[in-house]
Amino acid sequence: KQEVTQIPAALSVPEGENLVLNCSFTDSAIYNLQWFRQDPGKGLTSLLLIQSSQREQTSGRLNASLDKSSGRSTLYIAASQPGDSATYLCAPAERGFKTIFGAGTRLFVKA
């Protein structure tokens, strides 16, 4: 059974810092991996998708890497802003594209 772990569970940083959020998963037989953002009381917004054959994807200030063989993904956020405050969820998709989630990293960026 796929298990996803995200570290740290929570993070509070001053504005402008560069951040690294870590995700590990136990079953490397995945098709892709998505990083999502969730604001309080809201649904999930997809940030980046990395296909299993890719090593990284970039969107604006976000960069996500994938090391499928070791079961790890990293989300890098450059020059953090208060508007980045949210919970970030890592979600590998396995057989049938069933997406399994970690518990998330709660990020607070202080102005």
- Site for other proteins, rule CB under 8 A: 4, 31-32, 34, 36, 41-46, 49, 51-53, 89, 91, 93, 96-104
- Burial class from Cβ neighbours inside 10 Å (0-12, 13-18, 19+) for residue 83 reads exposed
Query: Which region holds residue 26: left if phi is over 0, alpha if psi is between -120 and 50, else beta?
Result: alpha
Q: How far apart, in Å, do the first and last CA atoms of the chain sit? A: 41
In angstroms, give the least distance from the CB of 31 to other proteins: 5
Q: Cβ closer to other proteins: 69 or 111?
A: 69
Q: How far is the CB of 33 from other proteins (least distance, A)?
A: 10
CB of 18 to other proteins, least distance (A): 24
